[in-house]
Amino acid sequence: MGSLPRYATAVAFVQALLLGGCGQPAPDPAPSPTPGATASVQRPAGKERLVLAFGDSLYAGYGLDRGQSLPDAVQARLRRAGVNADVVNAGVSGDTSAAGRQRLGFVLDNLKRKPDLVMLGLGGNDVLRQIAPAETRANMTAMLDELKRRGIPVLLTGMKAPPNLGPDYVAAFDTIWPDLAKRYGGGLYPFILDGVIGDPELMQGDRVHPNVRGVARIADKVAPLVAGQLRETG
């Protein structure tokens, strides 16, 4: 999702999500340490793991201070759990799935080594622009094909469409992530804003991007999935 002081589309998106009840909020996780101080988390011993967080503004940390993005928060939780992980933030605000498809290979080629896992989070800007779900699916499929070719496991963080786009659009869009997770055997967090969107205590003033508390809530749920996949890959 992008730089959105263009409130009309973004607010309509959020309001539609709330009215449509896109998924039941997950139970509140156990409280985490105060977010935002990720640099102070000591690196644990053990094998170093490399995670690439590849997505849009929900990864990039739009509207947040340095060190407060979702990849930062996930890295801090992994290290507190004893996982010696570096999470590289390759989030770009405004990216659609098509833009991500264009730059994925370049980003992978310029990492210090092949990542142990890629967190893939795109689609929010596609739905805001009402891009055809078939196009989004094709772009996501192409990225997963590239990651499979390179032998890199994936954790998908999904997106949902607002019901005001109609049942056909919603059905076609919302099934992209579970279908692809099943097809490629990847991990899945079905809706990245689950339990956060609609709560003013957890969202920025634009009502589209989570604030630092919202990021902490998401990271509390996503980090264990990342840790689980890293364990599976040895």
pLDDT tens digits, one per residue of 71-80: 999 999 999 9
pLDDT at residue 149 is higher than 80: yes
In angstroms, rounded to a whole number, what is the distance separating the alpha carbons of residues 218 and 126? 21
pLDDT tens digits, 163-173: 999 999 999 99
Strand 154-157 relative to strand 85-91, pairing:
unpaired
pLDDT of res. 191: 98
Residue 101 lies in a domain: yes
Residue 12 lies in a domain: no
pLDDT of res. 1: 67
Average pLDDT over residues 186-198: 96
Q: Of 57, 69, 93, 97, which residue is the catalytic one?
A: 57
Active site residue 69: no
DSSP string computed for the chain: ------HHHHHHHHHHHHHHT-SPPPPPPPP-SPTT-GGGSPPPSS--EEEEEEESHHHHTTTS-TT-SHHHHHHHHHHHTT--EEEEEEE-TT--HHHHHHHHHHHHHTSSS--SEEEEE--HHHHHTT--HHHHHHHHHHHHHHHHHTT--EEEE-----GGG-HHHHHHHHTHHHHHHHHHT-EEES-TTTTTTT-TTTB-TTSSSB-HHHHHHHHHHHHHHHHHHHHHT-
Q: Where does residue 27 rank: exposed (0-12), middle (13-18), buried (19+ CB within 10 A)? A: exposed
Average pLDDT over residues 172-196: 97
Residue 112 lies in a domain: yes
Show the domain range for 194.
45-232
Q: Which residues, 6 or more positions from 90, have their beta carbon under 8 angstroms from its beta carbon?
A: 52, 53, 54, 55, 59, 107
Q: Of 32, 86, 199, 206, which residue is the catalytic one?
A: 206
pLDDT at residue 233 is higher than 50: yes
Q: What is the mean pLDDT of the chain?
A: 87
Average pLDDT over residues 139-151: 98
pLDDT of res. 135: 98
Active site residue 209: yes
Residue 24 lies in a domain: no
Residue 5 lies in a domain: no
> Out of 28-42, 84-98, 196-210, which region has the weakest mean confidence (pLDDT)?
28-42
pLDDT of res. 201: 97
In angstroms, rounded to a whole number, what is the distance separating the alpha carbons of residues 98 and 132? 12
pLDDT at residue 7 is higher than 70: no
Average pLDDT over residues 6-24: 41
Domain count, the chain: 1
For the domain that residue 79 is a member of, what is the CATH number? 3.40.50.1110
Q: Of 69, 93, 126, 209, which residue is the catalytic one?
A: 209
Active site residue 95: no
Residue 13 lies in a domain: no
Average pLDDT over residues 8-18: 44
Average pLDDT over residues 124-138: 97
pLDDT tens digits, 35-68: 444 446 788 888 999 999 999 999 999 999 999 9
| pTM for the structure as a whole | 0.85
